[in-house]
Structure 1
Amino acid sequence: MAGERQARMADRIKVLVAERLEKGLRDPRLGFVTITDVRVTGDLQHASVFYTVLGTPEERADTGAALKAATGLLRSEVGKQLSVRLTPSLEFIADAIPENAGNIAELLREAKDRDAEVARIAASGKYAGDADPYVKPREEED
């Protein structure tokens, strides 16, 4: 039950924060933000809001600063919309999804290159022994 309540609250906070960011904040540092996930603690007192930002590392840093500066405003907005006694504190955490995706793409490319090299070597390879090393059962003589 508690886990279900946590999940419902996390989903609701994700939607509320995303909607508020869509309306915009009066902060020129804020870039194109996507809220990727929200995790709420078991006591429902703290919410970690994960986000990604399109742009340069500098733009990502500026957006992080803008979100940190707007945390109080966003928490107030969330508190007005949630029907809970205590509004959870919000913490904004930059999600590493884009960086991880880039690393995974690079690893996949390397693996593909290695597979191609192995296939090239195998095509010109020769058997170390007989082509068919398995012992065949002897045929019975009549």
Structure 2
Amino acid sequence: MASNRIGRINEEVQRELAALIPTVKDPRVTGMISVTAVDVTQDLKFAKVYISVLDKEDSEQVLKGLKSASGYLRRELGRSLNLRHTPELTFFRDDSMAKGAHILEMLRDPEVVKPANPANEHIILEDE
């Protein structure tokens, strides 16, 4: 039952942070920023926030800006959520979308992925 509660808290913190990040006034926090996941510890003291940035060159600067604005984000999170402890936020870059796009690109490349059955090589799919 506790893991279900932590899961709901993770989702709620993720939703609130996604709404709060655009209000950060730090000039380094710009561009398309997505909160992909949040992992809150069982005692609600710490939270790992995974961030995905559209422009990969700016991702380090965005993480530094979010780290400096973590106090503001934590205070606003505490105001909006009714929790006993407001977790301390640490931000991490999440490259899962880029990795997924790379895997999808590899799957579409006929040089990398061979047909499962060589006898079916002559079959042309409708997509092609």
Structure 1 residues not aligned, in runs of 5+: 124-142
Partner residue in 1 for 2:24: 25
CA RMSD of aligned residues (A): 2.2
The structure 1 segments of at least 4 consecutive aligned residues displaced by more than 3 Å after TM superposition are: none
Q: Where in structure 2 are the equivalents of 1:1-142 lying within 5 Å?
A: 1-22=1-22, 24-31=23-30, 32-57=32-57, 59-110=58-109, 112-113=110-111, 114-115=113-114
Range 37-46 or range 68-77, more displaced:
37-46
Identity of aligned residues (%): 32
Question: Aligned AA for 1:17?
Answer: L
In 2, Cα distance between equivalents of 1:71 and 1:9: 18
In 2, Cα distance between equivalents of 1:9 and 1:115: 44
Question: Aligned AA for 1:49?
Answer: V
Q: 1:91-126 deviations in whole A, cap 9, x for unaligned? A: 11111113312431343144x22527x96xx77xxx
What is the CA-CA distance between 1:60 and the residue it aligns to? 1.0
Structure 2 residues not aligned, in runs of 5+: 123-128
TM-score (norm 2): 0.80
Count of aligned pairs between the two proteins: 118
What is the CA-CA distance between 1:64 and the residue it aligns to? 0.9
